[in-house]
Structure 1
Amino acid sequence: MSRIGKRPIEIPSGVKVSYVTPILKVEGPKGSLLREIMSDIALEIEEKSVSVNRADDAIKSRSAHGLTRTLINNMVVGVTKGFEKILEINGVGYRAEAKGDVLSLSLGYSHPINFPLPKGITVEVDKMTKVFVRGIDKELVGQTAAKIRSFRGPEPYKGKGIKYADERILRKAGKTGKK
Structure 2
Amino acid sequence: MSKIGKLPVAIPAGVTANVDGQTVKVKGPKGALEVTLVEEIAAKIEGSELQVSMNGETTRHKAMWGMSRTLVANLVEGVTKGFEKKLEITGVGYKAAVQGKNLNLALGYSHDVIFPIPEGIQIVTPKPTEVVISGIDRQKVGQVAAEIREFRGPEPYKGKGVKYAGEFIFRKEGKKK
**TM bracket (short chain):** over 0.9
CA drift at 1:150: 0.3
**Structure 2 length-normalised TM:** 0.97
Distance 1:117 1:59 in 2: 39
| Corresponding residue number in structure 1 for 2:72 | 72
Partner of 2:48: 48
Which SS does the other structure have where 2:176 is aligned? Answer: coil
Q: Who is 2:103 aligned against?
A: 103
1:159 aligns to what SS in structure 2? coil
Segments of structure 2 that go 5 or more residues without pairing to the other structure are: none
The structural deviation recorded for 1:151 is: 0.2
- Give the match for residue 172 of structure 1: 172
Answer whether contact 1:89 1:160 (CA < 8 A) is retained: yes
SS in 2 for 1:93: coil
**Match of 1:132, SS?**
strand
How many angstroms apart in 1 are the aligned matches of 2:56 and 2:30?
A: 35
Partner of 2:24: 24
Match of 1:63 in 2: 63
For residues 23 and 43 of structure 1, the distance between their equivalents in structure 2, rounded to whole angstroms, comes to 9
- Give the superposed CA RMSD: 0.9
Q: Is contact 2:10-2:50 (8 Å) kept?
A: yes
* 1:118 CA displacement: 1.5
Tell me the number of residue pairs that the alignment of Structure 1 and Structure 2 aligns: 177
Matches within 5 A, 1:14-163: 14-163=14-163
User: SS of the counterpart of 1:85?
Assistant: strand
Deviation at 1:83, TM superposition (A): 0.5
Q: Secondary structure at the match of 2:124?
A: strand
Alpha-carbon offset, residue 21 of structure 1: 1.5
CA contact (8 A) 1:101 1:122 kept: no
The one-character-per-residue Cα deviations of 1:64-93 (angstroms, maximum 9, x if unpaired) are 000000010011001100000000000011
Inter-partner Cα distance in structure 2 for 1:16 and 1:119: 23
Runs (4+) of structure 1 exceeding 6 A deviation are none
CA contact under 8 A between 2:22 and 2:42: conserved in structure 1?
no
TM-superposed deviation, 1:47: 2.6
- What letter matches 2:155 in structure 1? E
Distance in 2 separating the partners of 1:116 and 1:163:
19
Identity of aligned residues (%): 51
> 3-state SS of the aligned residue for 1:71?
helix
1:77 alignment partner AA: E
Aligned to 2:2: 2
Aligned counterparts of 2:22 and 2:75: Cα–Cα separation in 1: 16
Q: Distance in 1 between matches of 2:123 and 2:55?
A: 41
